[in-house]
Amino acid sequence: MNIRKALPSDSRGIAKVAVDTWRSAYRGILPDHVLDGLTYEQREENWNRIFIIGIDIVFVAENVAGEVIGYASGGKERRSTAMDQGELYTLYLLEQYQRLGLGKQLLLSVARELDWLGMRSMLVWVLAENPSRFFYESLGAQKVEAREIEIGGGTLPEIGYSWASMREALLS
C-alpha cells in the first residue's frame, strides 16, 4: 500500500472510489435516486476540473497493483476568512481497505500539508448519520458545530469536527 500526492491522471481512479464509497457508505442515509444517479464519468469530470484549478491538496492511497483505493483532499477552510484555518474536504477509502490504517495516513498527509502551508487548525464536516464520524473522534477531533446540508432535495444534519491545533491532528 502506498500514499502519495495525487496526479491529474488519478482522476478516473478517484472518481471510481468516490462513487463506490458514496454508494456503500450513504445507502440508507441519502435517497436512493441520489446514489443511483452518480456516475464515474461525472465525478471524473469534477476531479479533472479540480486538478486544472489546482486549489486543493489531494492524496491517494494505492494498493499493491497501483490502483487508487482511497483519497483525501483539503485546503483552506471554505467558510472562514481567516487564512490559517484548514479543512479536510474529503476522505474516502474503499470498504475492503478500511481499518488498515490507510484512512489515518491519508488524513495525516493532508494535515502535514496544511501545517506546512501555515494552517493552525483543521475542520471536517461529516453527515451525522455516517458511522465513520467516530473515526474522527478516535483521532482526537472534537464536535464544534452542527448544520443542515441539502442533498438530493432533502436536508440532513451534519457535524463539524475540529482539531483546535494542527499539532493535535498531527499527533493523533
Sorted by where each starts, the structural domains of the chain and their CATH numbers stand as: 2-120 (3.40.630.30)
pLDDT tier for residue 164 given thresholds of 50, 70 and 90:
confident
- What is the distance between the alpha carbons of residues 108 and 97, in angstroms, rounded to a whole number? 17
Ranges assigned E (strand) in 13-172: 57-62, 68-76, 85-93, 121-127, 142-151, 154-163
- Residue pointed to by grid coordinates 483552506: 76
Q: Give the three cell numbers for residue 163.
A: 482539531
C-alpha radius of gyration, the chain, whole number: 15
H/E element holding 103?
Answer: helix 102-116
pTM of whole model > 0.85?
yes
DSSP 3-state assignment of 84?
A: coil
Taking only the tens place, the pLDDT of each residue in 32-54 is 999 999 999 999 999 999 999 88
